[in-house]
Amino acid sequence: MPSHDVMPNMDLYQPVQVEDALAIADRLAERGWLVGGGQDTYGWLKDRAKSVEALIDLSGIESLRGIKETADGIEIGALTTLTEITGNDLITQRYSVLSDAAGRVASPQIRNIGTLGGNVSQDVRCWYYRRGLDCYRAGGNLCYADTPEGMNREHSLFEASRCVAASPSDTAPALVALDATMVIQSSGGERTLAAEDYFVGPAIDIENTTALRPGEILTSVRIPSTWANATFYFEKVADRNSWDFALVNIAAAFKVSGGNIEDSRIVCGAVQCTPRRVTNVENAIRGQAKNSSTAESVAAMSTDGARVLAHNGYKVPLMQNLVKRAISA
């Protein structure tokens, strides 16, 4: 039996130009694995839960790093670290919901290496799946977590189709709240997707959590000026304040005039496989005062349609309370 203390053998490519990376990714297709900071990748490979013929290390491509102001907002390279996002003046002053979210990811050491592109593109954290069991997501015919005996305390409340694993990303809800655009390149050109459409649930694709396909690279994220300087709120509840993934998190943006909410985007994470936009609450609070009375009146709506598993029922009041706090803050 091979040792799990060392990495398996594989080829390594380290391009320094996007064009070279795209050519390699196109040639290798599903046989290649794109690596940014590697925080998610190396665990998969070391544990032998997934295997790959080659790694395509993007960390040497400087053009995929950095934050720049554009005519209509900002653009963030996919390899920009979470620490850079947390400390960037443009983001902290105009789009603080993203810097707040990035600052709550794991630990400082991981934020120094982890990238925005990696954080939004990481796979689900279900331990059955990551142990290499043949669950639905791994090509089998059973969801081990969705059973009376299953360990599902951290799993989904909504939109579970064969798989009940939840989204692990803290920055993903913030990008959806900011109406960001994901820029994806391949050897055939560039395409863009709204952040809300970048993330896909198991009813659409049981094997992938994003719209990225073999041969494609997420190169940057564009955030429009639409929500610049809005009233923002981000909160993450986890078992420990550092390191742990969210039990539930929330990212919200409000346009407020005269104390009333003109528009809002409220997004919860860790309650389904994708960031969950709470559109019924957004519609209900439009034109209402941004205060605790409004918050109380709509909080219960946020969990309409929830399907509680054996051990994650606590997420219902937790999600309602986070929505309430975001509106009343």
> Could you give phi then psi for residue 28, rounded to 5 degrees?
-80, -30
What domains, with CATH codes, occur in the chain? 62-121+166-328 (3.30.465.10)
Encode burial over 59-73: b for 16+ CB neighbours within 10 A, e otherwise.
Answer: bebeebbebeeeeeb
Reported as half-sphere exposure (CB side, CA atoms, 13 A), residue 45 has a value of: 19
DSSP H helices, 179-278, are: 195-198
Q: What is the pTM of this model?
A: 0.96
**How far is C-alpha 49 from the geometric centre of its chain's CA atoms?**
21
Nearest CA to 25 out of 64, 50, 52, 56 is that of 56
Nearest CA to 158 out of 26, 315, 42, 24 is that of 315
Helix (H) / strand (E) element for 27: namely helix 18-28
Which residue do the tokens 């991981």 mark? 110
Which residue do the tokens 């203390």 mark? 5
- Tell me, what DSSP letter sits at residue 112? H
Q: Which two tokens stand for residue 74?
A: 């900002």
Q: 293 Cβ partners below 8 Å, 6+ apart?
A: none
Q: What is the C-alpha end-to-end distance of the chain, expressed in Å? A: 55
Which residue do the tokens 């863009």 mark? 192
Give strand pairing partners of 250. 235, 268
The single-letter code of the amino acid at 154 is E
Nearest CA to 293 out of 262, 259, 252 is that of 259
Helix (H) / strand (E) element for 68: namely strand 67-70
Which residue do the tokens 């592109």 mark? 117
**Contact between 220 and 183 (Cβ < 8 Å):** yes
Please list the helix, strand and coil fractions of the chain in percent, rounded to the nearest 5, in that order.
35, 25, 45
pLDDT tens, position by position, for the chain (329 residues)? 455 567 788 999 999 999 999 999 999 999 999 999 988 888 788 777 788 999 999 999 999 999 999 999 999 999 999 999 999 999 999 999 999 999 999 999 999 999 999 999 999 999 999 988 999 999 999 999 999 899 999 999 999 999 999 999 999 999 999 999 999 999 999 999 999 999 999 999 999 999 999 999 999 999 999 999 999 999 999 999 888 999 999 999 999 999 999 999 999 999 999 999 999 999 999 999 999 999 999 999 999 999 999 999 999 999 999 999 999 99
**How far is C-alpha 111 from the geometric centre of its chain's CA atoms?**
15
